[in-house]
Amino acid sequence: MSKISVICTLWDKKAKFFASPFTSTNIDTAIRDFQNIVSNPKNSFYSHKEDYDLFEIASFNSDTGVIKPLPKPKFILNGENI
């Protein structure tokens, strides 16, 4: 059975660029990962969480190694809504 993960990234509104992508089990766990990042006072995202948006950009099949990009980044959540 294939294991399909999502590939997501954070858009930094102030710097105007996408951060390095990360994989997550599914979109719900990607949202949880994002919530953990912007809710942790020990990192820089915490102070300006409204500056970051979570986007899904692709899927990854761990059996075949194939990455399927989305036609365009799909907005998921803004940090200020956490």
Q: How far is CA 61 from CA 12, 34, 37, 74, in A?
A: 27, 22, 25, 19
Quickly state the pLDDT bin for 72 (edges 50, 70, 90).
very high
| Cβ–Cβ under 8 Å, residues 38 and 48 | no
Q: What percent of the chain has pLDDT over 70?
A: 98
Measured over the CA atoms of residue 58, residue 59, residue 62 and residue 66, the dihedral's sign is negative
pTM for the model: 0.92
Quickly state the pLDDT bin for 70 (edges 50, 70, 90).
very high
